[in-house]
A and B are shown apart, each in its own frame.
Chain A
Amino acid sequence: MPDRVTAHEGEARPGRRWAAGTGVGKRVRSRGKATAALTLSYLGVVVLLLGAWWALSRGLGLPALPDPVASFRALGRAWGHGLAYHTAISTWRVVSSLCLAAVTAVPAGMVLGQARVADRLAGPAIYLTYPVPKSVFLPVVMAVLGLGDVARIFLVWLVVFFQVLVGTRDASRSLSPQFLHSVHSLGASARDVYRHVVWPAVLPAVFTSLRVGLGTAIAVLFLAETWASQSGIGYFIMLAWTRLGWDEVMAGVLAMGALGMGLYLILDLLERVSCPWRYV
């Protein structure tokens, strides 16, 4: 197939198709090798981290830092006794905040990046409120929205919303005018422009800001779950702490870490599926 495909240039440059053919073969082979090397390096990092943890715990000899074996054992025990439930609750809160943030911030960011008037109106407000740490509003949010899920989800949404909004707006704003000319010359309506150009152009930036937002979201959620709360991993950790159940604390930390890593992997996977042109 490749020789027919490049036939046009092939006429002018004989030998090119062979060069192209070998190039493709080499890339496939080295991609397999690269995956193996990557897997190995990930495994290496995990072993290294566990080793460091173990050494630190042994070296300090403090009850507050149990070694990995004790911690994973505690995780196994706690999982069946409530931790699974708390993890599910925290997962629900983070995932719904991130989804809400994406659904609200992405359209707003796309429009702000494209419509100069809207940007000029909203720009100063975003500029001034972006650096304000939103988590300090926890008491106010709880006073207004109550002590349930709504307040906690709202607080996390508030933090991630701004990150995704700014990331999306900047990507939308820096879109090359050539793309817009190109789509306009095809007779595109405003809807077509957003659908065929702005949306796919900002998508990678949306994933980047969601990944950054995920880290902040979990930190804010932890805060929100340690205060006036009956559920969630944050609550579980605080409860274990008051009982000085250090290995349970570590079990909660492990659950929180797994939640973050799992969502990070899912975001990665979603990006690969929805932005295939970046992975060719």
Chain B
Amino acid sequence: MIEVRDLRVEYPGRPPAVALAGVSFSLPRGTACAIIGPSGCGKTTLLHALAGLVTPAAGEVRVGGEVVRGPRERTAVILQDWGLFPWKTVWANAALGLEIRGRLRAGRARVEGLLREMGLWELRHRFPAQLSGGQRQRVAIARALALEPDLLLMDEPFSSLDALTREAMQELVAGILRRGEITAVLVTHDIAEAAFLGQQILVMAPGRISWQVSNPGAMEPGYRATGQFLDLCTRLRELCRPEVMARSA
């Protein structure tokens, strides 16, 4: 589903800031992938490249076999913190993607169904400022799912939630992704989150991918309580240590 080859992304400046220097990986359809790494290592940039929001300086990104050159019809993105528009109600936020794509008339019932499923229907006339963090995050998820995506990109979607709400949201997302209809890439700096949700886990060092770990038990109910899960967390923590990262170069 995703093929990234020798991807290089630079931000303009003198000299240009190299955010990604030669990133390659691929991901089969229906897989949930987690990307972890220290702050500033290029996770958001990689996600933006997958979303078609930044143009590569070199290399290419293919989604569903086609080179990504801009936002793609069936890619949905949930961004860090500011995905929702404060001036739009819950309903208008959730429906915005379909409205922009001119599919709102056909998709109205779908938006309603998603809002009901997420327990947001009674809140549809509220503005984001009137919601709790967990409710806002569910609006963002509803808006993404309204697009009937085959690729879901999430940038630290749960980082501003309290621990209990975060686990509830992880369960919610796991429930959606377990069906395997959606390929997902989740950026996080939370090791336990990566270990629970990522069937493939990419560990990033500044500008590149240092390790790829597969994790077949991901998203299974009760996975968090297993020794396998705890071992994986320990291993990931080890891989994220600067000395170990440097050795992978």
Residues of A within 8 A of B (CB): 1, 4-9, 11-13, 176, 178-179, 181-189, 192, 196-197, 200-201, 203, 275-277, 280
Does B179 sit within 8 A of A, measured CB to CB?
Answer: no
Of the stretches B17-25, B122-130, B233-241, the one at the interface is B122-130
**For window 19-76 of chain B, which residues contact chain A by CB distance below 8 Å?**
48, 51, 53, 71, 73, 75-76
B85–A9 CB distance below 8 A:
no
Does B225 sit within 8 A of A, measured CB to CB?
Answer: no
A6 to B82, CA, bound (A): 22
A276 to B75, CA, bound (A): 31
B165–A277 CB distance below 8 A:
no
The contact of B130 among A176, A179, A280, by CB within 8 Å, is: A280
- Closest A residue to B169 by CB, please name it: A8
Residues of B within 8 A of A (CB): 48, 51, 53, 71, 73, 75-77, 79-88, 96-97, 100-101, 119, 122-123, 126-127, 129-130, 132, 134-135, 138, 147, 164-165, 168
Total A-B pairs in contact (CB under 8 Å)?
89
Question: Which residues in B have their C-beta under 8 angstroms from that of A275?
Answer: 87
A189 to B102, CA, bound (A): 12
What 19 new A-B contacts, CB under 8 Å, besides A182-B82, A196-B96, A200-B87? A4-B119, A5-B123, A9-B132, A9-B135, A9-B168, A181-B48, A181-B77, A181-B79, A182-B83, A182-B84, A185-B53, A185-B77, A185-B79, A186-B96, A187-B71, A196-B85, A200-B85, A276-B127, A277-B86
- Closest B residue to A13 by CB, please name it: B164
21 A-B pairs with C-beta separation under 8 A: A4-B122, A8-B134, A8-B168, A9-B132, A12-B165, A12-B168, A178-B82, A179-B85, A182-B77, A182-B79, A185-B51, A185-B75, A185-B79, A186-B96, A186-B100, A188-B100, A196-B88, A196-B96, A203-B87, A277-B88, A280-B127
Question: Which residues in A have their C-beta under 8 angstroms from that of B165?
Answer: 9, 12
Question: Which residues in A have their C-beta under 8 angstroms from that of B101?
Answer: 186-187
A253 to B135, CA, bound (A): 53
The contact of B87 among A4, A184, A201, by CB within 8 Å, is: A201
- Closest A residue to B86 by CB, please name it: A277
B100–A280 CB distance below 8 A:
no
A277–B53 CB distance below 8 A:
no
A169 to B207, CA, bound (A): 35
- Closest A residue to B163 by CB, please name it: A12
A5 to B80, CA, bound (A): 25
- Closest B residue to A277 by CB, please name it: B127
Question: Which residues in A have their C-beta under 8 angstroms from that of B75?
Answer: 185
Grouping DSSP codes into helix (H, G, I), strand (E, B) and loop, the A interface class, with mixed when no group exceeds half, is helix
Question: Which residues in B have their C-beta under 8 angstroms from that of A13?
Answer: 164
Question: Which residues in A have their C-beta under 8 angstroms from that of B122?
Answer: 1, 4-5
Question: Which residues in B have their C-beta under 8 angstroms from that of A181?
Answer: 48, 53, 77, 79
In the assembled complex, the CB of A68 is this many whole angstroms from the nearest CB of chain B, namely 44
In the assembled complex, the CB of A72 is this many whole angstroms from the nearest CB of chain B, namely 43
A13 to B133, CA, bound (A): 14
In the assembled complex, the CB of A20 is this many whole angstroms from the nearest CB of chain B, namely 9
A11–B129 CB distance below 8 A:
no
- Closest B residue to A200 by CB, please name it: B87
B71–A186 CB distance below 8 A:
yes
The contact of B164 among A4, A12, A185, A187, by CB within 8 Å, is: A12
A179 to B87, CA, bound (A): 11
- Closest B residue to A177 by CB, please name it: B82
B80–A178 CB distance below 8 A:
yes
- Closest A residue to B80 by CB, please name it: A178
A196–B100 CB distance below 8 A:
yes
B129–A280 CB distance below 8 A:
yes
B80–A186 CB distance below 8 A:
no
In the assembled complex, the CB of A203 is this many whole angstroms from the nearest CB of chain B, namely 8
A166 to B82, CA, bound (A): 26
A250 to B100, CA, bound (A): 56
A174 to B160, CA, bound (A): 23
In the assembled complex, the CB of A58 is this many whole angstroms from the nearest CB of chain B, namely 51
3 nearest A-B residue pairs (beta carbon): A178-B82, A185-B77, A200-B87
In the assembled complex, the CB of B166 is this many whole angstroms from the nearest CB of chain A, namely 10
- Closest B residue to A193 by CB, please name it: B100
Asked, given contacts A13-B164, A277-B129, A280-B127, whether A5 binds B100 with beta carbons under 8 Å apart, the answer is no
Question: Which residues in A have their C-beta under 8 angstroms from that of B138?
Answer: 8
- Closest A residue to B84 by CB, please name it: A182
A189 to B123, CA, bound (A): 29
B81–A178 CB distance below 8 A:
yes
- Closest A residue to B54 by CB, please name it: A181
B119–A5 CB distance below 8 A:
yes
B168–A11 CB distance below 8 A:
yes
Question: Which residues in A have their C-beta under 8 angstroms from that of B130?
Answer: 280
- Closest B residue to A2 by CB, please name it: B122
